[in-house]
Amino acid sequence: MANRACARHILVKTRDQAEKLKKQIQLGADFGKLAKKHSLCPSGRRFGDLGEFRRGQMVKPFEDVVFRKPLHVVHGPVKTRFGWHLIETIYRK
């Protein structure tokens, strides 16, 4: 079982906003550029890159996606206490 992962995300206030951004990504928009422009998380400055983190460092709904869903696919919107996320897992190890 993987204990570490690398992911990027976009954090916004509403589900509607997350769904609109996901649609843009599906139509070819650049995830990183959208993260830089719209994400409320400081990681937005790094195009949504959260770097590598260990299991247990992120909130459960976020980790459930990162450690269980397919890699290189934009998942969400996922609700946490911080807001609504679009999440892409880059790797797990």
Mean pLDDT score across all residues of the chain:
97
How far apart are the C-alpha atoms of 18 and 43, rounded to whole Å?
16
Helix or strand run (H / E) with residue 88: strand 83-92
How many domains does one find in the chain? 1
> Residue 7, class by beta-carbon neighbours within 10 Å (0-12 exposed, 13-18 middle, 19+ buried)?
buried
The stretch 80-92 carries a mean pLDDT of: 98
Domain ranges, residue 45: 4-92
Write the pLDDT tens digit of every residue in 56-71: 999 999 999 999 999 9
The residue to which tokens 């990504």 are assigned: 25
pLDDT at 29: 98
24-33 pLDDT, tens digit per residue, is 999 999 999 9
Q: What is the mean pLDDT of residues 79-93?
A: 98
What CATH number is given to the structural domain containing 72? 3.10.50.40
0.75 cut: is pTM over it?
yes
Q: What is the pLDDT of residue 1?
A: 81
